[in-house]
Chain A
Amino acid sequence: MNLNILGWKCEGLRCPDFNVEINERGNNSSTFFQMPNGTGKTTTLRLLKRSLYNHEFKSSEIEEFKAKKKEEYKKEGFFEAKFAVDGKIFYIRINFDFEKKIASYSSSLSDEGGYVLGFKLPKEIENIIDKELVDLLLVDLEIDVKPMFRDSQTKAQEAIRKFCKINLLESLINDFKNFKDKKRKESSQSGNVQNQINTEETRLNKIDIRIKEVEKKKDQYKKYLNDTEEEYLSGKKQLDDALQRDSQLNRRRQELEKKRDEVKSKYDEILTKNLNDIKNIGTYENNLKIEVKEFVNNLDEMGLPEEEVRIFFDKILKKTDCICGEKLTDDKKEVIKKAMDSFISQEEAGIIGKIKDAVRKNTQEHDKVDLLANSSLIQQLKQELDATNENINILNNKALKDDRNLSDKIKKLEKEREFKKEFLDNIINQEWKARDGEDTESLLSLGEQKKIVEKKLAELSGTKEIEEKVIFLSEIIEEAIVASENEISKEITSECNKKIQEMFINNPIYINSIDKHIVLEGQAEGSTGQEARIGIIFLLTILERSSIHFPLIVDTPVKGMDNAAKRRTAGFISDLKSQFICFVIDADKPNFTVEYIKLDKKNSNFITAFRRSKEFDKLTDSIETKKISNNGQVVYGYPFFEKFTEEEDSI
């Protein structure tokens, strides 16, 4: 099955009124769409995304789509996207009412028009397309690729689940669970049992609500980390640069940092030594040393342990004759056994022996320890460490005096990011504990609590057999999910690495593994350009595996790349089989589209869209393949695409 984007039309929005026909020349395989900065690339991408799933527009969001220029403001506007599923055309239209601040969908499932109110996709794709999938298909490489590489995020895993249809197995588990819930609710019990069922149902409901809340928070935190990463890293770099600027201050700071590291190392050492010294009871003077010594002395005085005596009796018991020469009858053996039991066993003697050894070593052999001397050294080093840190802070404050606001902002951001990472990495993954309530934020615990309540409900409602069968089947499917995810991840890693080898001729960065996120070989993170390239390789690799051919729409495909990488990306795109649309600005063209046109075997589309101005209108005077509105123009063909270099001011 093939899903293609054929074009879009917009009026009365923040971007100029455009009417874009991707397959204007009967070919929609690869399209390069040039829009100057500020012409509405992001707006177009966002609305294209929202044309593929039913989005609830908030009034503040609607405001963002409104035309900003006074003379262009209209009370109403729309964005209409044209798609084809296996050649069958359909339209989705988003209607904006800027006065009432509302947005609504209308859909047409044929080429003859006839819109109906509401969001409706053709049957072939209505159960396949959702927001998560769309977010993977329409990507801003600067923003959307990062979560695939960060350890607190799970976007790579989500992509594999989605495209390799692993989520269908999850929906199967859900179907089983729904069936089980239905059966449970159908069985009504009497009196007290029904009251208990109601109580447990209420608890189950609370757990479900809590899971949803935590999942929502998880998504929000992931988004926050992703959204603030650029700001945080660039802010940190700016502050580092500021610290390096004054060479005298910098030298002094380096000296202090060296001193701090030395003091810190000694401080860590004495703290560790102190804890180990405390553990060595008997090496320092106190009443415990006296007590434990006395205990061992008493044992010595009593001749304990006396294992040899017990062993002696034990050996006699195994003989037929006693050492005195008489026969050992059962009665006599019983007497010996009683006598033997008054002696401690070999194992007990072993424990006593170890106590004596440990006490002897600590009180006689080991060096004596002075815990008070430890304390003095700890205090002295702590004071030194604090003073050095304080001096470094003073120097930093001096160096950052012009960047005070930025410094405060980055500190705040750092704290907030750490807090959210802690939530994503630890809090939601904490093991279940018996005392956990429904208010916990651990998804593992909530899952476990849910299982317990469901089990109880099954017992109360007499549906235990169904419950057990569903658990049995679900566990098999869950195991299959894990196993298939591992296998597919390995295959995708290998396929991606083959492509990486072709694309990164110099210094290739390979993928080590794909678990929840993409782990790079030998480095924690890649540069923006490296991650963008690997991200696009990853997406294309999983797209190729899918039996459904989706379009891939990429904003800023070569941003952050050097010239060689741009050329290799061009080569890579020319080999793609599924529909590919990318948004570029004129600065992206050298080494990218210029290179691509030489390799183009597909007669690709080159489209330029811009806000009208006298200057730009003159440029297109002699061109026929264009569509003009009152404030925008869409021009088709490579010659104009190549020629177009000027950018208008931001809207």
Chain B
Amino acid sequence: MSFKLVEKKNKDEEQNFIDSKDFFKKIRSGSDVDNSSPIKFDMDIFFLCLLVGLKENKKEDINLYKFHGSFSSKYIDSYLNVKPLITGLLLSKIMREEKIDKNEKDKIKKSLKIYLDTNDPSNLTIKCFDIMHEYFLGGYNILLKKFNFKAPDEISVFFDKYNKIIVN
């Protein structure tokens, strides 16, 4: 399984859609105006978008988008502590969506078996990995709208808007 960033929307329904790499291009470490950005890796971009998707409970169909090639098959070192939190949130979202009651222990255990893969470094099955990418897409689409489909020029401006989205 592999983490991927989105490149474009297949049916060009949204004319203003920007490649996620291009959206973050000017605020990535080494390319930003003050050379101060902490956004170094594709994994940072993926996480920032995913978190917005999870926060806003917004998913997008992965089949409607074209992705870049894989940037990693597992969480990079700086995200190992974040991995269980993301897994927990994904499982919680899935169970809510499947309307599994907190008292239905057997159903919950069944779900855990469907969505957890103990042999994969991400701990997720392909199905769950796809759901994670759906939330990533949902989050990225929210960011695009919040930034009026224009790539941010400065990391300070980006974080100002981003923090507001995350805490509100």
A→B interface (CB under 8 Å) = 264, 267-268, 271-272, 274-275, 278-282, 284-288, 291-292, 294-296, 298, 301-302, 304, 342-345, 347-348, 350-352, 354-355, 357-359, 362, 371-372, 374-375, 378-379, 382, 385, 433-435
Chain A interface: which of B9-17, B32-40, B144-152?
B32-40
Assess the B156–A359 pair: CB atoms within 8 A: no
Assess the B89–A288 pair: CB atoms within 8 A: yes
Question: Which of B37, B48, B89, B113 has the most chain A CB atoms inside 10 A of its CB?
Answer: B89
Interface contacts beyond A279-B82, A294-B92: sample of 9 additional A-B pairs, CB < 8 Å, sorted by A: A280-B81, A295-B91, A344-B112, A350-B118, A351-B87, A357-B84, A358-B88, A359-B84, A375-B163
Across-interface contacts of A281 in B (CB, < 8 A): 51, 82, 85-86, 89
**Contact A304-B105, Cβ < 8 Å, known A267-B34, A287-B55, A378-B160:** yes
Compute the total of residue contacts between A and B using a CB distance below 8 Å.
132
B99 within 8 A of A: no
**Contact A348-B88, Cβ < 8 Å, known A281-B51, A379-B160, A382-B156:** no
Chain A nearest Cβ from B29, distance in angstroms: 10
B65 within 8 A of A: no
Assess the B156–A379 pair: CB atoms within 8 A: yes
Across-interface contacts of B164 in A (CB, < 8 A): 372, 375
Across-interface contacts of B92 in A (CB, < 8 A): 291-292, 294-295
Assess the A351–B38 pair: CB atoms within 8 A: no
Assess the A288–B54 pair: CB atoms within 8 A: yes
B64 within 8 A of A: no
Assess the B34–A385 pair: CB atoms within 8 A: yes
List residues of B (94-128) whose CB comes within 8 Å of A's CBs: 95, 102-103, 105-106, 108-109, 112-113, 116, 118, 123
Chain B residue total in the interface (Cβ 8 A)? 49
Assess the B47–A343 pair: CB atoms within 8 A: no
Interface flags, B157-168, vs A, CB<8A=1, else 0:
001101110111
Cα distance A244–B81 when bound, in Å?
50
Assess the A355–B105 pair: CB atoms within 8 A: no
Across-interface contacts of A374 in B (CB, < 8 A): 159, 163
Chain A nearest Cβ from B22, distance in angstroms: 15
Select B88's contact among A264, A359, A378, beta carbons within 8 Å: A359
Assess the A371–B38 pair: CB atoms within 8 A: no
B155 within 8 A of A: yes
Select A355's contact among B85, B108, B168, beta carbons within 8 Å: B85
Cα distance A78–B118 when bound, in Å?
81
Assess the B89–A271 pair: CB atoms within 8 A: no
List residues of B (18-61) whose CB comes within 8 Å of A's CBs: 34, 36-39, 44, 47-48, 51, 54-55
Assess the B85–A298 pair: CB atoms within 8 A: no
Select B36's contact among A267, A294, A357, beta carbons within 8 Å: A267
B→A interface (CB under 8 Å) = 34, 36-39, 44, 47-48, 51, 54-55, 68-69, 79, 81-89, 91-93, 95, 102-103, 105-106, 108-109, 112-113, 116, 118, 123, 154-156, 159-160, 162-164, 166-168
Across-interface contacts of A362 in B (CB, < 8 A): 85
Assess the A351–B116 pair: CB atoms within 8 A: yes
Select B159's contact among A271, A345, A435, beta carbons within 8 Å: A271
Assess the A355–B109 pair: CB atoms within 8 A: no
**Contact A295-B88, Cβ < 8 Å, known A279-B47, A351-B116, A375-B159:** yes
Cα distance A97–B8 when bound, in Å?
59
Residue of B at shortest CB range from A376? B160
Question: Which of B51, B95, B167 has the most chain A CB atoms inside 10 A of its CB?
Answer: B167
Task: Show 5 residue pairs from A and B whose CB-CB distance is below 8 angstroms, ordered by the A residue.
Answer: A279-B81, A291-B89, A304-B105, A342-B109, A375-B159
Chain B nearest Cβ from A287, distance in angstroms: 7
Question: Which of B37, B83, B105, B154 has the most chain A CB atoms inside 10 A of its CB?
Answer: B105
Assess the B102–A301 pair: CB atoms within 8 A: yes
Cα distance A296–B106 when bound, in Å?
16
Assess the B166–A286 pair: CB atoms within 8 A: yes
Residue of B at shortest CB range from A267? B36
Residue of B at shortest CB range from A382? B156
Cα distance A291–B37 when bound, in Å?
30
Across-interface contacts of A359 in B (CB, < 8 A): 84-85, 88
**5 residue pairs, one from A and one from B, having the closest CB atoms:** A347-B118, A295-B92, A355-B88, A358-B84, A382-B156
Across-interface contacts of B82 in A (CB, < 8 A): 279, 281
Assess the A271–B36 pair: CB atoms within 8 A: yes
Cα distance A283–B83 when bound, in Å?
15
Across-interface contacts of B105 in A (CB, < 8 A): 302, 304
Residue of A at shortest CB range from B109? A344
Assess the B34–A345 pair: CB atoms within 8 A: no
Assess the B163–A275 pair: CB atoms within 8 A: no
Residue of A at shortest CB range from B32? A271
Residue of A at shortest CB range from B67? A435
Across-interface contacts of A357 in B (CB, < 8 A): 84
Across-interface contacts of A284 in B (CB, < 8 A): 166-167
**Contact A286-B113, Cβ < 8 Å, known A271-B37, A275-B38, A304-B108:** no
Cα distance A347–B113 when bound, in Å?
11
Chain A nearest Cβ from B84, distance in angstroms: 4
Chain A nearest Cβ from B83, distance in angstroms: 8
Chain B nearest Cβ from A383, distance in angstroms: 9
Assess the A348–B116 pair: CB atoms within 8 A: yes
Assess the A354–B84 pair: CB atoms within 8 A: yes
Across-interface contacts of B88 in A (CB, < 8 A): 292, 295-296, 355, 358-359
Across-interface contacts of A272 in B (CB, < 8 A): 38
Residue of B at shortest CB range from A305? B112
Assess the A371–B39 pair: CB atoms within 8 A: no
Across-interface contacts of A268 in B (CB, < 8 A): 36, 38
Residue of A at shortest CB range from B37? A271
Chain A nearest Cβ from B153, distance in angstroms: 12
Across-interface contacts of A433 in B (CB, < 8 A): 68-69
Assess the B112–A352 pair: CB atoms within 8 A: yes
Chain A nearest Cβ from B101, distance in angstroms: 9
Cα distance A264–B89 when bound, in Å?
36
Residue of B at shortest CB range from A279? B82
Assess the A302–B84 pair: CB atoms within 8 A: no
Across-interface contacts of A371 in B (CB, < 8 A): 163, 166-167
Residue of B at shortest CB range from A378? B156
Assess the A271–B167 pair: CB atoms within 8 A: no
Chain A nearest Cβ from B167, distance in angstroms: 5
Cα distance A271–B87 when bound, in Å?
26
Cα distance A378–B86 when bound, in Å?
26
Assess the B156–A288 pair: CB atoms within 8 A: no
Across-interface contacts of A287 in B (CB, < 8 A): 55
Select A282's contact among B48, B85, B116, beta carbons within 8 Å: B85
Chain B nearest Cβ from A510, distance in angstroms: 32
Chain A nearest Cβ from B61, distance in angstroms: 21
Cα distance A435–B123 when bound, in Å?
29
